[in-house]
C-alpha cells in the first residue's frame, strides 16, 4: 500500500478488517498544505463503516453547517446541512484527521513502513516492491500516492488530465470585518464554507480548527500571471476585489508571508485497476475542488477497492474489473456534473470561463454514485 493519506489509510483499514496482512508505506512527515479541508455530511456513513466515526467526531475538528456561494450571481446562496439526515460535516485539521485514520489502521494490525515505493515488478501472481531500498513481496499493490498516480503509472496506467487547475492557497487570521474578534458574522457563516466566482476563476474559504481560515484562489495554471496571483502582494490585492471572501478577513490584516500553489486539476488513471493492483483516491480519480468531494471519494474508493481485492483473493475473477468500471463511471458522472456547474456562471467572457463553456454537450447532467458503494 503506497500512500498514507485518507485513501491509503481507508484501504488499509478495510483490508485489515477482512483479515489481510497490510503494509502501509508513507513518508514520516505529512505535507503542510492540502486542498481538502472540509468533509461533507454523507462521509459520516463511510467513517462509520471504517469504525472511525467516533475518532473523527471527538478529534477537535470544527462543525460545518453548510455552504455559501456567489456563483452565477453576486448575491450569496445558502445550502444548509440542518435538514441533512447525516448531521453537520466538518472543517478539518487535516494533519490530525489523516493521523487518526493511520492510527486506526495500526490498531487493526496494519504495519507502517516509512519511505516510498520506488519500484515495482510483477512475477507470476506476486509483486516485488522496492521500498526505500528494501524489497517487499506482496500479492496485491495499491496506489494511494495522490493525483500523480506514481505507482499506477509505473505499472502501465495512463494519467488522463481534463484540465490543469491550481489552487493558490494561504492561511490567514479568522476574524472578519463584521466580526467580534472570534470569526463570527451576522449572516451566520462562521461555520460554513464560502465560494465566490470571479473573472479569473473562483475564491474559496473555510475556517480551520487552528483559529485560522484557509483561503484559496482557483484558476488554470497558465492564467496565474494574468490573474495577478503570483506573489502574496498580488494575491492579496486580487482578494480585495472579492465581495464576500474579503469580508471574512480582519480590517487591518496584512498579506500572507507565503503562498502554496497546489495541484487541483481533474484527472484519472486509465485503467484504475488491473490484475493484482488498484488505484484509490486521487490516484484513481482526482476531481476539481469545486465539488468538495475529494476526501469523501478517497474514503469511498478505499472501501470499494478493498472489497474488490478481497473478492479477487476469494476467487472472484471479475471483482477488480468491476472496481475499475465503477471508477470510470463515477469519474464520467463527475465530469457531467462539473460541466453543469461551470455553465451556470455566464457573467464573464474571460479565458477561464470560455474554456468551460466549450465543454461538449454530452458533459451535462449527472450525479454521484458513491452513496451506493
List, for residues 48-74, the tens digit of each pLDDT value.
999 999 999 999 999 999 999 999 999
Q: According to the model, what pLDDT value does residue 84 have?
A: 83
Task: Give the C-alpha separation, 38 to 210, whole Å.
Answer: 14
The 3-state DSSP class for residue 103 equals helix
- Cell numbers found for residue 335: 465530469
Q: According to the model, what pLDDT value does residue 75 have?
A: 96
Q: How large is the average pLDDT for residues 154-163?
A: 96
Q: How large is the average pLDDT for residues 284-296?
A: 93
How far is C-alpha 191 from the geometric centre of its chain's CA atoms? 20
pLDDT band at 189 (very low <50, low <70, confident <90, very high): low
pLDDT band at 186 (very low <50, low <70, confident <90, very high): very low
Q: According to the model, what pLDDT value does residue 107 have?
A: 98
Characterise 261 by phi-psi region: left (phi > 0), alpha (psi -120 to 50), beta (else).
beta
Q: What is the mean pLDDT of the chain?
A: 90
Tell me the backbone φ, ψ of residue 4, rounded to 5 degrees.
Answer: -110, 20
Q: Give 292-313 as a DSSP string.
A: --HHHHHHHHHHHHHHHHHHHH
The 3-state DSSP class for residue 178 equals coil
Higher pLDDT, 46 or 252: 46
Domains and CATH numbers, the chain: 6-63+89-162+266-343 (3.50.50.60), 165-263 (3.30.9.100)
Among 82-91, 174-183, 331-340, the range with the most confident prediction by mean pLDDT is 331-340
| DSSP state for residue 221 in the 8-state scheme | G
295 has pLDDT over 90: yes
β-bridge partners, 274: 277
- Cell numbers found for residue 175: 476574524
76 has pLDDT over 60: yes
- Cell numbers found for residue 267: 484527472
Q: pLDDT digits over 209-267, tens only?
A: 988 999 999 999 999 999 999 999 999 999 999 999 988 887 778 999 999 999 999 99
Q: pLDDT digits over 238-249, tens only?
A: 999 999 998 888
Q: pLDDT digits over 6-25, tens only?
A: 999 999 999 999 999 999 99
Distances (CA, A) of 207 to 66, 138, 291: 12, 42, 18
Q: According to the model, what pLDDT value does residue 176 have?
A: 52
Q: According to the model, what pLDDT value does residue 178 have?
A: 42
Amino acid at each position: 500500500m503506497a500512500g498514507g493519506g485518507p485513501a491509503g489509510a481507508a484501504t488499509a483499514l478495510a483490508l485489515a478488517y477482512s483479515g489481510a496482512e497490510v503494509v502501509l508505506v508513507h513518508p514520516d512527515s505529512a505535507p503542510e498544505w492540502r486542498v481538502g479541508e472540509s468533509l461533507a455530511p454523507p462521509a459520516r456513513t463511510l467513517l462509520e463503516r471504517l469504525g472511525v466515526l467516533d475518532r473523527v467526531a471527538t478529534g477537535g475538528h470544527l462543525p460545518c453547517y453548510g455552504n455559501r456561494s456567489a456563483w452565477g450571481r453576486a448575491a450569496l446562496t445558502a445550502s444548509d446541512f440542518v435538514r441533512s439526515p447525516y448531521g453537520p460535516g466538518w472543517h478539518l485539521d487535516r494533519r490530525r484527521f489523516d493521523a487518526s485514520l493511520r492510527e486506526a489502521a495500526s490498531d487493526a494490525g496494519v504495519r507502517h513502513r516509512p519511505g516510498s515505493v520506488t519500484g515495482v515488478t510483477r512475477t507470476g501472481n506476486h509483486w516485488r516492491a522496492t521500498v526505500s531500498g528494501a524489497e517487499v513481496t506482496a500479492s496485491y499493490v495499491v496506489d494511494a500516492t495522490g493525483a500523480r498516480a506514481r505507482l499506477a503509472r509505473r505499472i502501465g496506467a495512463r494519467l488522463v488530465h481534463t484540465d490543469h487547475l491550481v489552487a493558490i492557497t494561504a492561511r490567514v487570521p479568522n476574524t472578519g470585518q463584521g466580526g467580534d474578534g472570534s470569526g463570527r458574522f451576522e449572516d451566520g457563516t462562521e461555520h460554513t464554507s464560502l465560494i465566490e466566482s470571479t473573472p479569473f476563476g473562483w475564491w474559496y474559504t473555510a475556517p480551520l480548527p487552528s483559529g485560522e481560515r484557509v483561503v484559496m484562489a482557483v484558476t488554470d495554471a497558465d492564467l496565474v500571471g494574468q490573474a495577478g496571483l503570483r506573489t502574496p502582494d498580488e494575491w492579496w490585492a486580487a482578494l480585495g476585489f472579492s465581495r464576500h471572501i474579503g469580508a471574512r478577513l480582519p480590517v487591518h490584516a496584512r498579506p500572507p508571508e507565503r503562498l502554496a500553489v497546489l495541484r487541483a486539476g481533474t484527472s484519472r488513471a486509465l485503467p484504475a485497476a488491473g490484475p493484482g493492483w488498484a488505484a484509490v483516491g486521487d490516484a484513481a480519480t482526482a476531481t476539481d475542488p469545486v465539488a468538495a468531494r475529494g476526501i469523501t471519494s478517497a474514503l469511498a474508493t478505499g472501501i470499494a477497492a478493498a472489497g474488490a481485492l478481497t473478492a479477487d483473493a476469494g476467487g472472484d475473477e471479475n471483482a477488480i474489473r468491476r472496481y475499475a468500471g465503477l471508477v470510470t463511471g463515477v469519474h464520467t458522472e463527475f465530469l457531467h456534473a462539473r460541466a453543469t456547474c461551470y455553465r451556470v456562471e455566464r457573467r464573464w467572457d474571460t479565458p477561464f470561463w470560455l474554456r468551460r463553456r466549450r465543454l461538449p454537450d454530452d458533459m451535462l447532467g449527472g450525479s454521484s454514485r458513491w452513496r451506493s458503494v
